[in-house]
């Protein structure tokens, strides 16, 4: 199955000059979801994974499925003020602005093996903030996973030395 056919381009979203890669058509096709999930798990099956961290909000879709398949817990990382318990925060830069992410202070225990997942690796700012939060809690990052990578933005460079994987690369 060619997963690229399930990614829709939206010009000038969320602001002029941005070409947004929309995963909604992929999510609407159960066969595409299954294939994408299988690819996201390709390098992880057979490894001990304690937690899968998902970034708000599109990262939640596959992160929860990955956690279920791996027998791991799911950790939501959200925008400020969305989590009800004590949190740690990390700032990051987006292709089109800046923001913050938060995680519960007890979401990951020291030494737990963690996979990070988000929908898109673009400039790497969000993913780098996710890595900072996981390490602040004492987690060991096994891999940074993305549904797709916009390789021309060089986000992978910000994630060295972590393993990075995306089944769709543009």
> What are the residue numbers of the active site?
58, 95
- The rounded distance, in Å, linking the Cα atoms of 106 and 66 is 21
- Work out whether strand 87-94 and strand 97-104 pair parallel, antiparallel, or are unpaired: antiparallel
Q: Is 111 left (phi over 0), alpha (psi -120 to 50) or beta?
A: left
CA distance 113 to 143: 9
Tally of CB atoms within 10 A around 21: 20
Distance CA 149, CA 159 (A): 13
Pair of tokens at residue 166: 């995306």
Q: Estimate the crossing angle of helix 30-40 against helix 59-70, to 10 degrees.
A: 60
State how far Cα 85 lies from the chain centre.
Answer: 22
């Amino acid at each position: 199955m060619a997963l690229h056919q399930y990614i829709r381009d939206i010009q000038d979203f969320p602001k002029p000059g941005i070409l947004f890669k929309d995963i909604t058509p992929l999510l609407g096709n159960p066969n595409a979801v299954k294939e994408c999930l299988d690819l996201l798990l390709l390098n992880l099956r057979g490894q001990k994974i304690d937690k899968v961290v998902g970034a708000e909000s599109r990262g939640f879709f596959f992160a929860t499925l990955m956690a279920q398949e791996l027998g791991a817990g799911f950790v939501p990382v959200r925008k400020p003020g969305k989590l009800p318990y004590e949190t740690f925060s990390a700032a990051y830069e987006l292709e089109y602005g800046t923001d913050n992410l938060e995680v519960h202070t007890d979401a990951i225990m020291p030494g737990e093996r963690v996979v990070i997942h988000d929908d898109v690796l673009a400039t790497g700012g969000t993913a780098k903030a996710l890595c900072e939060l996981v390490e602040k809690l004492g987690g060991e990052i096994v891999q940074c996973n993305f549904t797709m990578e916009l390789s021309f933005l060089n986000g992978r460079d910000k994630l060295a030395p972590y393993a990075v994987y995306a089944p769709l690369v543009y």
